[in-house]
C-alpha cells in the first residue's frame, strides 16, 4: 500500500502555521479530518488555549485526538483515508524530552531514552501515512532564537531535517505567508 502524502509546515510563534495547515487539509476531500494535539495544560494560560482550540476545532468538523505523549497510541484512532493534522512537533518534543522531570529523571538525562522515543515516532509517522490519505505536520521554528537547552535544539534540528526529507512538500510560514521550501 502506498503511503499518504506528508506536508511539513514550520514557522515562528503565531506566524499562521496552524491556520494554514487547517485550510490546506479542509480543501482536500476526506472522510474525516483528524487533529492530533500534543499540548498539555500545565498552566492556566495553556489550559485556556487548549480549551479555545478544542472549541474552534469542534465547530470546524475536526475529530480531535489529544496525544501529548506516546503518539503511537493515536494510531488506533486513525482510519483509512483520514486527513491528519499533527500540531505540533515542538510541543511533543518538550513533552517527551522532559518526561520524568517531576521525579528528577527527565528523559533528556537518561542514556538512549530520546533515541528510543524518536525511533518510535518515526515508525508512528510511517504507520499513520500507511492509513491516512494525508499527514500535515506543524512545528515551531525556534532554531533561529536563543534557546538555552542544547539538547532540545539538537533534537529539534534532527527531527525537522528528517521530516523535511520524508515530506512531499515543506513550507515555512512568515507573517501569515507560506513560502514553499520543498
Query: Which residue numbers belong to the known binding site for GTP?
Result: 11-18, 37-39, 66, 87
Alpha carbon distances (Å) from 130 to 2, 22, 168: 7, 21, 14
Cα–Cα distance, 10 to 164 (Å, whole number): 10
* Cell of residue 85, nine digits: 493534522
User: Residue 129: which H helix or E strand, with range?
Assistant: helix 113-131
53 is catalytic: yes
**Cβ–Cβ under 8 Å, residues 69 and 99:** yes
Q: Are strands 62-66 and 83-87 parallel, antiparallel or unpaired?
A: unpaired
Cα–Cα distance, 3 to 60 (Å, whole number): 26
Cα–Cα distance, 5 to 170 (Å, whole number): 11
Closest to 107 measured CA to CA, from 117, 115, 97, 116: 97
Closest to 125 measured CA to CA, from 113, 115, 116, 137: 137
Question: Which positions make up the binding site?
Answer: 11-18, 37-39, 66, 87
Query: Which residue out of 53, 73, 126, 160 is catalytically annotated?
Result: 53
Which residues are identified as catalytic? Answer: 53
Amino acid at each position: 500500500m502506498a503511503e499518504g502524502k506528508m506536508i511539513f509546515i514550520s514557522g515562528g510563534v503565531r506566524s499562521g502555521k496552524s491556520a494554514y495547515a487547517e485550510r490546506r487539509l479542509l480543501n482536500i476531500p476526506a472522510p474525516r479530518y483528524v487533529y492530533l494535539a500534543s499540548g498539555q495544560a500545565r498552566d492556566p494560560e495553556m489550559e485556556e488555549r487548549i480549551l479555545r482550540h478544542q472549541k474552534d476545532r469542534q465547530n470546524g468538523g475536526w475529530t480531535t485526538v489529544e496525544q501529548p505523549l506516546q503518539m503511537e497510541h493515536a494510531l488506533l484512532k486513525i482510519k483509512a483515508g483520514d486527513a491528519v493534522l499533527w500540531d505540533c512537533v515542538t510541543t511533543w518534543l518538550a513533552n517527551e524530552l522532559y518526561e520524568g522531570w517531576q521525579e528528577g529523571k527527565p528523559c533528556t538525562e537518561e542514556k538512549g531514552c530520546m533515541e528510543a522515543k524518536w525511533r518510535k515516532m518515526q515508525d508512528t509517522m510511517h504507520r499513520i501515512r500507511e492509513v491516512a490519505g494525508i499527514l500535515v505536520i506543524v512545528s515551531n521554528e525556534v532554531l533561529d532564537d536563543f534557546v538555552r537547552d542544547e539538547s532540545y535544539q539538537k533534537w529539534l534540528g534532527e527531527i525537522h531535517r528528517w521530516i523535511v526529507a520524508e515530506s512531499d512538500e515543506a513550507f515555512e510560514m512568515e507573517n501569515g505567508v507560506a513560502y514553499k521550501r520543498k
